[in-house]
Amino acid sequence: MAAQQNQLVWQEKAACRGPLADVFFPPSVVERKNEKLAREDRAKQICRECPVVADCREYAISIREPHGVWGGLSEQERRQLLTH
């Protein structure tokens, strides 16, 4: 229970909360590669200013989150960390 509460604390401080969250996940329609890279870059810019980016990254890696930009890392970047 305490771990869940701690998780909620960092999420409440995340810079991606609210309407900005859309850039962190792929849209429901097909996205071209250049559109995906631009969207991920916008998300990563937000992450660079986020006070809880390290907590977010650690969480995403620990649960092997397969989707979106978390802690400044894309899906592919997180997979690469897990395989090395």
> What are the tens digits of pLDDT across the range 13-24?
999 988 878 999
Residue 50 has pLDDT above 80, yes or no: yes
> What are the tens digits of pLDDT across the range 28-38?
999 999 999 99
Residue spans of the domains in the chain: they are 2-83
Q: For residue 34, give Cα distances in angstroms to 17, 41, 51, 66.
A: 25, 10, 28, 20
Look at residue 21 in the predicted model and tell me its pLDDT: 86
Q: For residue 40, give Cα distances in angstroms to 2, 3, 5, 76.
A: 32, 29, 28, 11
- Model pTM score: 0.85
